[in-house]
């Protein structure tokens, strides 16, 4: 569940945003190779 | 909204494939990054007014669209980037309770209080955005593993987020 359940609110917000952003950008790049 | 914002970024890629994906993701998340910055600066009470109100998202949209237009001279792409930033506030009116403008009402359907409904709504946005996104790919690449994995990963992340809203309600963002 990390980073959805751990840490304070800002930590959770930033962690969740970075996680989904990285996955999206990486998989988009692989989709185009 | 969480994964739904990424669904909107994916749709943007389908409409304008020349825009880098990282920029579309930044555009769709920009109000949340502004919120985190204002929260960290200690202005917890007003962070959403500075990041999610209609004037705030309009300014944030221009802050991203104007430099992009200056470098690309592509007015359609720059306009799309601005619209994706503004879409963040509109989408959050479905899932949360957000400010409109200084002195104005807070509005929203607060789907975060109904995690299953939140998952369904955000899941639909992700699937529609992903279907539009696939148009940006060559036909022979639309069925490949990374494309399918992208949809599955986004749905799983949204499920985790929706479950966390159910298990840990009421945790303040700031």
Q: Model confidence over A1-33: pLDDT tens digits?
A: 445 555 567 878 899 999 999 999 999 999 999
pLDDT-derived band at B39 (thresholds 50, 70, 90) equals confident
Size of interface A-B (CB pairs under 8 A): 78
Domain ranges in chain B are 3-167
Instruction: Name beta bridge partners: B98.
Output: B107
Check pLDDT > 70 for residue B128.
yes
Q: Give the tens place of pLDDT for each residue, B66-89.
A: 999 999 999 999 999 999 999 999
B95-102 CB contacts, 8 Å cutoff, 24+ apart:
B95/B1, B95/B4, B95/B121, B95/B122, B96/B1, B98/B48, B98/B52, B98/B53, B99/B48, B99/B49, B99/B52, B99/B53, B100/B53, B100/B54, B101/B53, B101/B54, B101/B55, B102/B49, B102/B53, B102/B55
Would the CB atoms of A5 and B33 count as touching at under 8 Å? Answer: no
Question: Which residue stretches of B41-142 are H helix?
Answer: 47-51, 54-72, 75-95, 115-133
Q: Which domain holds residue A10?
A: 1-33
Which site among A10, A12, A29, A30 would you substitute to test the B interface, given the most B Cβ atoms closer than 10 Å to its Cβ? A10
Query: Taking all residues of chain B, what is their mean pLDDT, rounded to a whole number?
Result: 94
- Percent residues over pLDDT 90 in chain B: 82
Which residues of B fall within a CB distance of 8 Å from A25? 21-22, 25
This prediction has a pTM of 0.93
Structural domains of chain A, count:
1
As a whole number, mean pLDDT of residues B9-33 equals 98
Would the CB atoms of A9 and B171 count as touching at under 8 Å? Answer: yes
Nearest chain B residue to A21, by CA? B25
Which residue in the set A19, A25, A29 is minimally distant from B157, CB to CB? A19
């Amino acid at each position: 569940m990390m980073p959805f359940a751990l840490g304070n609110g800002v930590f959770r917000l930033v962690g969740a945003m970075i996680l989904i952003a990285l996955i999206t950008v990486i998989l988009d790049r692989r989709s185009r190779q | 909204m969480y994964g739904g914002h990424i669904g909107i970024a994916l749709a943007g890629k389908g409409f304008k494939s020349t825009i880098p994906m990282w920029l579309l993701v930044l555009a769709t998340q920009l109000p949340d990054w502004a919120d985190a910055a204002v929260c960290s600066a200690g202005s917890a009470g007003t962070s959403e007014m500075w990041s999610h109100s209609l004037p705030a998202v309009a300014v944030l949209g221009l802050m991203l669209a104007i430099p992009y237009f200056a470098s690309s001279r592509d007015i359609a792409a720059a306009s799309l980037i601005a619209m994706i930033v503004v879409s963040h506030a509109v989408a959050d009116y479905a899932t949360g309770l957000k400010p409109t403008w200084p002195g104005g009402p807070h509005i929203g359907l607060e789907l975060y209080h109904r995690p299953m409904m939140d998952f369904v709504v955000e899941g639909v946005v992700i699937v529609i955005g992903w279907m539009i996104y696939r148009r940006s790919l060559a036909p022979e690449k639309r069925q490949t593993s990374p494309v399918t994995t992208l949809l599955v990963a986004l749905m799983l992340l949204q499920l985790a987020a929706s479950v966390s809203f159910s298990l840990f309600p009421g945790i303040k963002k700031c």
